[in-house]
Chains A and B, each alone.
Chain A
Amino acid sequence: MPKVTVDGQEIEVPAGATVLQACELAGKEVPRFCYHERLSIAGNCRMCLVEVKPGPPKPQASCALPAADGQEIRTDSEMVKKAREGVMEFLLINHPLDCPICDQGGECDLQDQSVAYGRGGSRYDENKRAVTEKYMGPLIKTAMTRCIHCTRCVRFSEEVAGVDEIGALYRGENMQITTYLERAAEHELSANVIDLCPVGALTSRPYAYEARPWELKKTLSIDVSDAVGANIRVDSRGREVLRVLPRINDDVNEEWISDKARFQVDGLTRRRLDKVWIRKDGKLARASWDEAFRAIAAVNAGASVAAVAGDLVDCETMFAAKKLLGALGSTLIESRQTGMSYPVDNLAAVNFNSTLAGIEEADAILIVGSHIRWEAPLVNVRLRKAAKRGAKIFLVGAEWETTFAAEFLGEDLTVLNNLPDYVNDTMKGAERPAVILGGAALANGALAPALALAEGWNLVREGWNGFNVLHMAAARMGALMLGFAQAGGIADLIAAKPKLLLALGADEVNFATFDGALKVYIGHHGDKGAAAADIVLPGSAYTEKPGTYVNTEGRVQYADKAVFAPGDAREDWTILRALADALGVTVGFDSFPQLRAAMVAEVPALGVEGLANYGALPAAVAGAKAEGRIAAYPIKDFYLTNPIARSSATMQECSSELLHGEDVLEAAE
């Protein structure tokens, strides 16, 4: 490990570190624009100049210079100060002085660093360069005159997203960043370039001119648009969520979030349920909470009550429902709305055991029935990393456009019973083999044959567990931990013919199968569930309540409440608590802390932030055979998978323009 001296302070740095990293380890701030920890080194902004001895008597770009033994690095010398001022002046030559009308203002690297490292004024009185606007789709707003050519966006789309759609045309001063023929950026993670852009060249289109960063209340939260549980920061002002940004968590989402997680939030103000509704003569009519509770109590359901949890629900809501049903004497609870009925007595068998960060290390991966790019874009990023490291990846299921080298083995699931020899050999010979089962595989009963394969390939070994199930619902693992599942799936609930059905944000249920029941929908959006319900009780969306979420790898995470729910809407647990009173039972909690304490007392793993331990995989069932075909995946439209996204104008625009190729609607049309 090389020993270097940074501003007179001697430190040891890891082998392969750059001078910039050495400076950071020594606690020195080095300004930079093009350098980014998760992207390749470009060395083209020159902002990170430092003085290094031995070496030529001139400042060196520290981001691209390897730290070597005996180097004497100075970040505080006169030479460095002058070099930074010089670079800053050059960068500002062509950068417009439009900070007052720029959305990046207040959170702009260029602004901050010019204050910290630049000269006080400008000596430039020539004409500035101007660049024509570039269209990059409905999510990314461009002002390319502001671009300082750091090429972070180009490197992101090539290296992380794996879709070469952004490039730098022309050269020198005339260089312009654009997508090919100004087509919309179509990748599911495309909007991360907004965060990467150190200036205001790429900004958020839906958030344009909405707010300044210092006006916003920042709340730490968890994304519910898929089962990855990306760590997000919810920025709100007053009662409105204005935007969502990723938080850094290397174990979960690194530094990225999907476009859906980022931009579905404008759906939180549309089609909201903010009043109590009761169906009278086939039409929903406004009512009061009292009327609704009386109507529910009037059914006299007794123990004949069932509850179905939706995909976005937090653990506390489900636990409150479970307690309520328990007090009424019922255990008819289920979260797999679409009818899946895989066994859940051992949660290790339905968990992403490799962990999201761990799957990067796999060297042979078999993916069964998962359109990963749509079901979990952030897992796709990890798989791309694995493939870049040399992992062999095979897929079973209908073909989709992968962003990594992979081989499709066909739609027919029976291929699992008799895999080609080279696949078998690769998986057997791999040091860290992994299997990933998607929702389509679970629905087709591929869990048992996959477990058999896992046993055959010895997927679980010292320090490695290669058996993975990739869920799509943020609520799924939490629901399963709370026992929100029946052996036969939702069919058991239908067979029980309950008199009262509580749908907790459940929109994908086929409500026609619950014909005789009084259907009470507790949720936040007027979607399919509310349309089928007899009574609608307005609840809270994920930004409007504190909650516990468990992601697909069994990671327990907590989200905070960012804003209050609109109108008469309440936090879901309070509705269930009030319902308990109306039905004359006690559930044992009167406040949120009590509810959470009761939940943790029953499922202790939910009280510990981090990975839950589900124990060992179950033994494989002998003779389990795969059958069926995976001709399609459950997600038909990436941008419209949940009620919030379906209500979001931005997501609808993305869906019509990016997936269905419709022309952009101009304002005049």
Chain B
Amino acid sequence: MADRAPHPDSPELRARWGNFIWNEANQAKAKEIVARYPEGRQRSAVMPLLDLAQRQVGEETNTQGWLPIPVMEYLAAYLDMPVIRVLEVASFYTMYNIAPVGRFHVQVCGTTPCVLRGSDDLLETCYKRGMKQGHTTADGLWTLTEVECMGNCATAPMVQINDANYEDLTADRLDVVLDLLARGEQPKEGTQEPGRHTSEPANALSTLKDMVTENHDYRSAW
């Protein structure tokens, strides 16, 4: 995270993104989002709009999308707020990409539960494919980031690739997912554990056993 920095401002960047405006669908969405906030508080909409802009850039570049400086300036003007405040928000949250990303943004969870369940192996798998943290591979296919908890601890370890979660991973299972993606196919999202549907207990029930059939009042047990 320390080497996160906005993509440098350059004439080329201005030429590519300087005339960014909402496309028709997003124009309507943006209007609707701004309307959620009281009159005069329209700058509260900066977070959803940054996301929307990132997605529009993603559509144009066929990636998860990112936020070039001119796009942030466009947003600042759109919301009538200082551009430094937009940049502050965009640089604070890691879900806003402030530098270009590859076709697939591989976000490996590196928080405690995932590490305990083997996220180091997942990172190793990624490294073997030539990915490097915070960088995009030369073929433009992969960008690797280590992220903090994504809230899938019950199915740890997990990886988020663009907007899809892949859970219960092992090095081999991640390899399969990455292979499918590289071939242009869509792997199954969610848990990769055979027989598991979502985040239900992986084996036999170990807690709250009395709750299986009916609502049980545990208070007397306290």
A:348-399 near B, CB below 8 Å? none
Q: Interface residue tally of chain A, by bracket?
A: 10 to 19
- Cα A164 to Cα B76 in complex, Å, equals 12
Q: Is the CB of A180 within 8 A of B4?
A: no
Kindly specify which of A3-11, A96-104, A165-173 makes contact with the partner chain.
Answer: A165-173
The contact string, 1 if C-beta is below 8 Å from chain A, for chain B 51-89, is 000000000000000000100000000000011110110
Q: Is the CB of B85 within 8 A of A174?
A: no
Q: Which of A170, A171, A174, A180 contacts B84 (CB 8 A)?
A: A180
Q: Is the CB of A165 within 8 A of B92?
A: no
- Cα A166 to Cα B1 in complex, Å, equals 22
Contacts of B85 in A (CB 8 A): 164, 167
Q: Is the CB of A165 within 8 A of B84?
A: yes
- Cα A619 to Cα B135 in complex, Å, equals 75
- Cα A171 to Cα B90 in complex, Å, equals 11
Q: Interface residue tally of chain B, by bracket?
A: 10 to 19
- Cα A165 to Cα B76 in complex, Å, equals 13
A:498-528 near B, CB below 8 Å? none
The contact string, 1 if C-beta is below 8 Å from chain A, for chain B 1-36, is 110100001000000000000000000000000000
Contacts of B165 in A (CB 8 A): none
- The residue among B9, B84, B85, B91 with the most chain A CB atoms within 10 A of its own CB is B84
- Cα A165 to Cα B83 in complex, Å, equals 9
A169-B91, A170-B91, A171-B92 given; A179·B4 CB < 8 A:
no
A164-B84, A165-B84, A170-B4 given; A181·B92 CB < 8 A:
no
Binding site secondary structure of chain B = helix
- Cα A169 to Cα B9 in complex, Å, equals 16
Q: Quote the shortest CB–CB distance from B175 to chain A (angstroms).
A: 32
Q: Is the CB of A167 within 8 A of B88?
A: yes
Contacts of B87 in A (CB 8 A): 167, 169, 180
A180-B83, A181-B69 given; A168·B4 CB < 8 A:
no
- Cα A169 to Cα B6 in complex, Å, equals 10
Residue of A nearest to B93 (CB): A171
- Cα A181 to Cα B98 in complex, Å, equals 13
A167-B84, A180-B84, A181-B69 given; A174·B9 CB < 8 A:
no
Binding site secondary structure of chain A = mixed
Contacts of A180 in B (CB 8 A): 82-84, 87
Q: Is the CB of B82 within 8 A of A164?
A: yes
Q: Which of A164, A165, A174 contacts B2 (CB 8 A)?
A: A174
- Cα A180 to Cα B86 in complex, Å, equals 10
- Cα A165 to Cα B87 in complex, Å, equals 11
The contact string, 1 if C-beta is below 8 Å from chain B, for chain A 149-170, is 0000000000000001111111
Contacts of A174 in B (CB 8 A): 1-2, 4
Q: List 19 A-B contacts (CB under 8 A).
A: A164-B82, A164-B84, A165-B82, A165-B84, A166-B84, A167-B84, A167-B88, A169-B87, A169-B88, A169-B91, A169-B92, A170-B1, A171-B92, A174-B1, A174-B4, A179-B84, A180-B83, A180-B84, A181-B9
Interface positions of B (Cβ within 8 A of A): 1-2, 4, 9, 69, 82-85, 87-88, 91-92
Given contacts A168-B88, A170-B91, A170-B92, 20 further A-B contacts (CB under 8 A): A164-B82, A165-B84, A166-B84, A167-B84, A167-B85, A167-B88, A169-B87, A169-B88, A169-B91, A170-B1, A170-B4, A171-B91, A171-B92, A174-B1, A174-B4, A179-B84, A180-B82, A180-B83, A181-B9, A181-B69
